[in-house]
Structure 1
Amino acid sequence: MKQDAAASAVPACFISNHEGFLGNIKKLIRDFVVTEIDVDGRQVTSEADVQAPAECSLKTSARWKQNRCLQGPEDKRDRSLQGPEDGDISALDLSASGPDSLDLSVVLGPAVSERLEHFVLSLRDEVEDGGGGGGDGGNAVARKELSLGSFTDKYQRANVHRAVRHRFPFLMTVTIQPEIRVREDPDYRELSQLVSEEEAEDFFRFIDAKAQDSSYAFHPDDDKERRTAVHHFLNRRFGKLVETKTLGERHMSAISVRLRERGRPKKRSSDDRREEDVYTGEGGRCGLFGLAAHWSFLLLLFLLAFTLCKENLETLEAISYMAATLGVLPSDFSYAGIKDKRAVTYQSMVVKKVSPQRLMEKGSEFERRGMRLSHIRPAAEPLKLGRLRGNHFDLVVRDVRSHGADKAPSAEARRQLAGLVVEALQNVEARGFVNYYGPQRFGSGQSVPSDRVGLALLKEDTVNAVRLFFSPDDGDDLSSQAKRHFLQTDNAKESLALMPASKARERLMLRALNRYGTGPEGCAKAWLSLPHGMRVFYPHAYCSRVWNEAVAHRLATLGHGARQGDLVWTRDAETAANDDGGGGGERKAAQIHVVTEREEQEGVYALAQVLLPMPGNTVKYPENATGAWYRERLARDGLDKCRFRLAALKLNLPGCYRPLLASLCNLSYRLSDGDAGETAADASGGKSQGRLDGEPPETLTLTLNFDLDSSCYATVCLREIMKCDP
């Protein structure tokens, strides 16, 4: 039943008319291997061994020298006050400022750390309630302070300043010897009104690091007035420390910020307080310790890329576990795409605020959870969703048999079955398949599909969305018990105690519900406790279901050709998309063309060029019966007036355009006897062939290898090949 709920979101509509066959996929985890293909067309495979710490240090050091983040050889000051020569971090003892020096529970103690957490929450609550704007409310928030206690040792004070600013960039730390107090930074509040909170936090970490000749770039913004406001703010508040300029043209314009050359003005105003070394909190560096702390902080700001191999784990579940183990936030990880759970998958990831040594120290813990990290290396920037060319699949279909037959007992029947397999593969290789979103998009294996949760969120019914989210699965496992307890009692604290530690999303939600209550406001804050990538998954699932249904309706009513009113890419946009490697996945470009009556009659466009929009606030809909269907479908769910912007949940769904058909490439296959290793397959010239050797046993096994564009699903491709749900 659980499988049927997700599978029903993928309509049974096909392009080819071959017979197909039956078989089982994912019988073993290793039967389904997914390898990401990066934007340069390279497979992201796991290297033989994780790099040794010394090798990582050398590469990291070289990257620092390239970016000139550390002092160059031209600096003639006393070498004893500088870092190791050539930036070799392995030669500097950072034991005093290792990873634990950024753990607030270690630096401040559990009690003070918890008080600080509550203080931050109270600040956020007051800002959300109206205190973040101008007037007396804003001044009240700005004046609110918390004492962290007295610290007589200046090195200890430096560590406290550094740890607090690292964890909460939006706080100011003030030393009134020997006491340290914290309050909200009004500069952060002002900047976060102009850019996203994440950008504001990253910018303030950049400012606090003060890496020589380093720079920071905000996300591209096509709003000139907002860019001007950001320029004015930065020049007014940090003009003596940084210089700004706009890079790019039109829609790709972005503000770049660069630290000015060393040197401090003779006179300083009260607005220049950020030019102090915040880690000492006392207006000067603490000798070698201050520099060591500074270098350690640079290391933690540094971006590390790595290859993640995971087995039988969701991508978001893996990230949650790694974040908890490393002591960072799930949002500190970035990735190009979400991979299957019941599979062995290889993908690139980037994490910030973690050193190479720290990452490798936790390798054994990750392996116990079904994860292996390799190819650890410096990264220039975080990854973005969709920034991949596609995925390579190595699949095994076991117990291959004809429709209506349990097995293939005779040699003749087996030869006929081999013919069916070859015909199916050749048809799909030539014609492609309907580009549906696969069952995993809707949470296959769950009692309530994710799209139902997404619909509740789009209707801003956060309470119902929470209850749907906590719908228990069949069975009596600990997770289902905890969910049932919550739905029956509304007691988030007791349910949290029952919830397994591996269920990161559920535990985040329960913590927030325990803190804020289970009413509408508490449920909204519970959703906000999830990282953006997890939060937006559910509305995207709903939009994906609508897209799937739209495709089925379009094919059933308008047939298999391009019709008047259909949407296609303009020629230039299509060429650019293909050159960029995004042939079959989601695209967000604006160059959309509406097929005219003449173009339909002359057959200018083929079905493979037709696009359908994913619902959102920036897309246009087809100008034919399909467009009317979209409007009726959304109205049926009460979304006829939905703007696909959820301010309370900080979600914006612009939508995108997705090709109606997708195609596979680099196809090869082999058909073997049962689980035997002897196979027959593949041919020259890129054409696929198949053969059977010897007198076979009762079952056949089909091994497939092919590539798909990003956001295309191998399970959907197999449906077209087999003409059934595999």
Structure 2
Amino acid sequence: MEEDTDFRIRFSSLCFITDHVGFHGTIKSSPSDFVVIEIDEQGQLINKATDEPVCKISEILPAPNNFAKKTKLGFPNVSFEEGSNQEVNTLVRCSNVDQNRQSGSEREETINDGTSQGEEEKVYLLGSLLDEKTNELLNQFACDIKEKWNSKSELTEASPEFSLGRILDKKQRAILHSAIRQKFPFLLTVGKNSEIVVKPNLEYKELCHLVSEEEAFDFFKYLDAKKENSKFTFKPDTNKDHRKAVHHFVNKKFGNLVETKSFPEANYNAGNPNIVITVRFREKAHKPRKRSVECQERKVIYTAFTLRKENLEMFEAVGFLAIKLGVIPSDFSYAGLKDKKAITYQAMVVRKVTPEREERERKRERERKRKGGGARSTNSHIYLDWTSAGLQTGDLSVPGQRSIHCATTNDCLRLGQLKGNHFDIVIRNVKSHTNDSANLRERILEAIENVKNKGFVNYYGPQRFGMGRKVHTDQIGLALLKSEMVKAVKLFLTPEDLDDPVNRAKKYFLQTEDAKGTLALMPEFKVRERALLESLHRFGMTEEGCIQAWFSLPHSMRIFYVHAYSSKIWNEAVSYRLATYGSRVVEGDLVCLDEDSDDEHFPNSKVHLITEEEESANTYSIHQVVLPVLGYNIQYPKNKVGLWYQEVLSRDGLQTCRFKIPALKLNVPGCYRKILKQPHNLSYQLREERDSDVKAEGSHIDEATLSLLISFDLDASCYATVCLREIMKHDF
């Protein structure tokens, strides 16, 4: 691969805050040289007492020639962040559906399941809620609409309406809305200041052009019933283009409410299969701290566990687990992302999976290996240490395992819900920046003590941006912020200069835009790429198709790219701030008033603008200075740094950007980040290692090399590589 010169220039231009000389060394020679252990909110290491995992689930990556079958991902969670005034909608996952599809009678049971006994009672109450004349007029209005449609005559431009008059009782209005739509699914009801107005449902008529009226009638009854965990199935269909049109219609008109998926019917002919389209409701999202009593009483299974992964990207690990356990990536929640080339331990929570189910998966894995399935050749591993099912607020533990604490009201983890991370790092082949090695030990001691006392510049680390790649994650984020959806997809699928199955598949796609053909080439473990390609195959490489493709990724993955752009700008901003003002706290700077806060997400009320008097009196220190991470709910410094932010946004074409992407249901409020941080509990040890070298004539010599073993804790969202960069004065 060609050297990523742009990336090296970007990071070599970043500042240092200390003035020692530093030293050279090699980090991440192997994953075992870089161990990361999450620290929970109570300050406890998340891994258990022993380093050995409870079970090894699988070696994750297939061999290069092990190409994929269809990835079972379903749809991810999509939600507005807390604080948005818009309605929150969450997509429900598509469970793995049995290939034995329903017969006709079973299909009718599925459809009828959408209307509960309570809904039937509402229809029955329609006559008692309306007076006899109004009821007759409503029936006549409905008959007139159907007659015009059946005669294929067009309705007048001004859609006909029928008013039921003003109904003051709110509950009575709600019952009437539902009762009318259940009895007449081809009608719409609209509320206007306590008045109920009935109109023809033109979407019903449009669907009747695609499916039978019987199916349209049942489908709209199903929609209005909104019964959780129910599904609706259209009649079997052999015409792929026709099925695609039905998918498009349902997703375009009702995509926020339901999702669709195609499955083969039972005993189908492989040459000309009957395919059925199944519709499921997307699960309703509930904002934390605003849940109803009914929502609190609803029991959803959550299982907390410790994930140990080695030499594996976080998103790939989640994607693999999702396939293995029959759920989707958005069913997993976690407090933070972890390094790839490392051994990492972190807390995770998964919805709708019990430890018993995981145990069955382990037994299947052992049985597969016993029968000769064998382990696949790879250097990547994941391990699971399950701790409890039915997660509730409080500590969870089982004998012999360290407890995991989850304190969120919705029983899942959120990003940032951790105190920090503990690092055990080996720096090998330590050398002086010059040939003088006499004072190397003193220089190492000086460097460590300097950073321990003064701290380091709190940059976002290179792994956040995709070090060594042609396209960096912040470039994709910028395209998304500018609503350049097609460009963002192409950037995401840009290949590296490597001849392997993944990059050959990406290269083929950019040359042909053939999503189906690319899917056949893309290996199974590339879960994100396959999810995106499946969606592009379904919706096309158009602007709207690419929007749908981004929705195939969970919310956490979509917003990751936008955050990467904000992180890049923050790195540049802090470099400009230190180059312009140094370590002085000047008028117009922003400082955090809460000295105990280690969290980036403190409110604007905790951020203070420095006055001229405070600058003169040296009221605040450089360790309290913060800079905003871009978003819609931040304030900028009132000095040269604030002007710099505006110039950069203008440079990148974001002068009017509100940091909300409605098309992708993404809201980015922004936050504040301290420009300096310090490691905690820092300790180190120097160790000599001897490598035996063989000369050409056969004689042996021992060369001693110095390794540095260093351990420390960092607050959440701090990067060990950035701390090491300050210690060593060396860019990685």
Compared CA separation, residues 600 and 313, structure 1 to 2 (3 A): same
Q: Which runs of 5+ in 2 are unaligned?
A: 56-93, 111-186, 191-198, 215-222, 236-245, 259-280, 367-374, 393-410, 692-700
Larger displacement relative to structure 2 (587-596 or 437-446): 587-596
**Separation in structure 2 between the aligned mates of residue 132 and residue 41 of structure 1, nearest angstrom:** 55
Give 1:506's aligned residue. 529
Offset of 1:142 from its aligned partner?
A: 9.8
Confirm or deny that 1:317 pairs with 2:353: no
Instruction: Tell me the amino acid that sits aligned with residue 381 of structure 2.
Output: G
Confirm or deny that 1:625 pairs with 2:640: yes
Contact 2:334/2:349 (CA < 8 Å) preserved in 1?
Answer: yes
Offset of 1:719 from its aligned partner?
A: 0.5
Counterpart selection for 1:551 from 574, 589, 593? 574
Give 1:566's aligned residue. 589
Offset of 1:140 from its aligned partner?
A: 5.8
**Separation in structure 1 between the aligned mates of residue 664 and residue 426 of structure 2, nearest angstrom:** 41
Counterpart selection for 1:718 from 703, 719, 724? 724
Offset of 1:133 from its aligned partner?
A: 11
Give 1:521's aligned residue. 544
Offset of 1:539 from its aligned partner?
A: 1.0
Task: Write the mapping of 1:81-120 to structure 2, written as runs, cut at 5 A.
Answer: 103-106=96-99, 108=101
Confirm or deny that 1:427 pairs with 2:457: no
Give 2:419's aligned residue. 389
Instruction: Tell me the amino acid that sits aligned with residue 717 of structure 2.
Output: S
**Separation in structure 1 between the aligned mates of residue 476 and residue 189 of structure 2, nearest angstrom:** 33
Give the number of the structure whose alpha-carbon radius of gyration is greater. 2
Contact 1:673/1:696 (CA < 8 Å) preserved in 2?
Answer: no
Compared CA separation, residues 189 and 512, structure 1 to 2 (3 A): closer
Compared CA separation, residues 16 and 259, structure 1 to 2 (3 A): closer
Give 1:399's aligned residue. 429
Compared CA separation, residues 174 and 621, structure 1 to 2 (3 A): same
Give the secondary structure class of the aligned counterpart of 2:294.
strand
Deviation per CA, 1:50-101: give whole Å up to 9, x if none: 779xxxxxxxxxxxxxxxxxxxxxxxxxxxxxxxxxxxxxxxxxxxxxxxx9
Q: Could you tell me the percent identity over the aligned residues?
A: 44
Deviation per CA, 1:357-406: give whole Å up to 9, x if none: 2223334859975001114213221000000000000001000001134x
Confirm or deny that 1:439 pairs with 2:462: yes
Offset of 1:314 from its aligned partner?
A: 1.1
Instruction: Tell me the amino acid that sits aligned with residue 461 of structure 1.
Output: E
Q: Which runs of 5+ in 1 are unaligned?
A: 53-100, 117-130, 150-163, 177-181, 194-199, 205-217, 221-252, 262-296, 406-412, 677-694
Deviation per CA, 1:503-546: give whole Å up to 9, x if none: 11111111111111111111111111111111111111111100
Instruction: Tell me the amino acid that sits aligned with residue 402 of structure 1.
Output: S
Give 1:463's aligned residue. 486
Task: Write the mapping of 1:87-486 to structure 2, written as runs, cut at 5 A.
Answer: 103-106=96-99, 108=101, 136-137=201-202, 169=228, 171-172=230-231, 201-203=282-284, 218-220=286-288, 254-258=290-294, 301-363=300-362, 370-378=381-389, 379-380=391-392, 381-405=411-435, 413-486=436-509
Confirm or deny that 1:21 pairs with 2:14: no
**Separation in structure 2 between the aligned mates of residue 668 and residue 466 of structure 1, nearest angstrom:** 45
Task: Write the mapping of 1:39-78 to structure 2, written as runs, cut at 5 A.
Answer: 39-46=41-48, 48=50
**Separation in structure 1 between the aligned mates of residue 675 and residue 723 of structure 2, nearest angstrom:** 13
Give the secondary structure class of the aligned counterpart of 2:439.
helix
Give 1:276's aligned residue. none
Compared CA separation, residues 431 and 103, structure 1 to 2 (3 A): same
Offset of 1:6 from its aligned partner?
A: 3.8
Counterpart selection for 1:655 from 641, 666, 670? 670
Contact 2:455/2:679 (CA < 8 Å) preserved in 1?
Answer: yes
Instruction: Tell me the amino acid that sits aligned with residue 488 of structure 1.
Output: Q
**Separation in structure 2 between the aligned mates of residue 484 and residue 310 of structure 1, nearest angstrom:** 29
Confirm or deny that 1:670 pairs with 2:685: yes
Contact 2:53/2:308 (CA < 8 Å) preserved in 1?
Answer: no
Instruction: Tell me the amino acid that sits aligned with residue 555 of structure 1.
Output: L
Give the secondary structure class of the aligned counterpart of 1:553.
helix
Contact 2:426/2:707 (CA < 8 Å) preserved in 1?
Answer: yes
Compared CA separation, residues 23 and 260, structure 1 to 2 (3 A): closer
Give 2:139's aligned residue. none
Compared CA separation, residues 655 and 137, structure 1 to 2 (3 A): farther
Contact 1:6/1:440 (CA < 8 Å) preserved in 2?
Answer: no
Instruction: Tell me the amino acid that sits aligned with residue 523 of structure 2.
Output: P
Offset of 1:668 from its aligned partner?
A: 0.3
Contact 1:471/1:484 (CA < 8 Å) preserved in 2?
Answer: yes
Contact 1:586/1:711 (CA < 8 Å) preserved in 2?
Answer: no
**Separation in structure 2 between the aligned mates of residue 110 and residue 416 of structure 1, nearest angstrom:** 82
Deviation per CA, 1:579-636: give whole Å up to 9, x if none: xxx26x5545542110111111111111110000001000111111100100000100
TM-score scaled by length of structure 1:
0.65
Deviation per CA, 1:165-223: give whole Å up to 9, x if none: xx9947555999xxxxx9999xx989969xxxxxx95559xxxxxxxxxxxxx314xxx
Q: Which has the higher contact order (CA 8 A, sep 6+)?
A: 2
Instruction: Tell me the amino acid that sits aligned with residue 439 of structure 1.
Output: P
**Separation in structure 2 between the aligned mates of residue 696 and residue 714 of structure 1, nearest angstrom:** 32
Give 1:235's aligned residue. none
Compared CA separation, residues 2 and 528, structure 1 to 2 (3 A): farther
Contact 2:307/2:384 (CA < 8 Å) preserved in 1?
Answer: yes
Larger displacement relative to structure 2 (376-385 or 329-338): 376-385
**Separation in structure 2 between the aligned mates of residue 627 and residue 637 of structure 1, nearest angstrom:** 16
**Separation in structure 2 between the aligned mates of residue 12 and residue 191 of structure 1, nearest angstrom:** 44
Give the secondary structure class of the aligned counterpart of 2:98.
helix
**Separation in structure 2 between the aligned mates of residue 46 and residue 479 of structure 1, nearest angstrom:** 36
Give the secondary structure class of the aligned counterpart of 2:422.
strand
Instruction: Tell me the amino acid that sits aligned with residue 540 of structure 1.
Output: H
Instruction: Tell me the amino acid that sits aligned with residue 599 of structure 1.
Output: E
Offset of 1:109 from its aligned partner?
A: 7.2
Instruction: Tell me the amino acid that sits aligned with residue 340 of structure 1.
Output: D
**Separation in structure 2 between the aligned mates of residue 361 and residue 2 of structure 1, nearest angstrom:** 46
Instruction: Tell me the amino acid that sits aligned with residue 338 of structure 2.
Output: K
**Separation in structure 2 between the aligned mates of residue 531 and residue 175 of structure 1, nearest angstrom:** 27
Give 1:531's aligned residue. 554
Give the secondary structure class of the aligned counterpart of 1:515.
helix
Compared CA separation, residues 599 and 172, structure 1 to 2 (3 A): same
Contact 1:612/1:657 (CA < 8 Å) preserved in 2?
Answer: yes
Confirm or deny that 1:32 pairs with 2:62: no
Give 1:280's aligned residue. none
Offset of 1:672 from its aligned partner?
A: 0.6
Instruction: Tell me the amino acid that sits aligned with residue 496 of structure 2.
Output: D
Give 1:269's aligned residue. none
Compared CA separation, residues 396 and 174, structure 1 to 2 (3 A): closer
Offset of 1:106 from its aligned partner?
A: 4.0
**Separation in structure 2 between the aligned mates of residue 318 and residue 260 of structure 1, nearest angstrom:** 31
Give the secondary structure class of the aligned counterpart of 2:35.
strand
**Separation in structure 1 between the aligned mates of residue 233 and residue 9 of structure 2, nearest angstrom:** 58
Contact 2:256/2:282 (CA < 8 Å) preserved in 1?
Answer: no
Compared CA separation, residues 588 and 317, structure 1 to 2 (3 A): farther
**Separation in structure 2 between the aligned mates of residue 110 and residue 384 of structure 1, nearest angstrom:** 42
**Separation in structure 2 between the aligned mates of residue 477 and residue 190 of structure 1, nearest angstrom:** 37
Contact 1:46/1:375 (CA < 8 Å) preserved in 2?
Answer: no
Instruction: Tell me the amino acid that sits aligned with residue 316 of structure 2.
Output: E
Compared CA separation, residues 174 and 455, structure 1 to 2 (3 A): closer
Compared CA separation, residues 501 and 46, structure 1 to 2 (3 A): farther
Confirm or deny that 1:607 pairs with 2:622: yes
Compared CA separation, residues 611 and 142, structure 1 to 2 (3 A): farther
Give 2:241's aligned residue. none
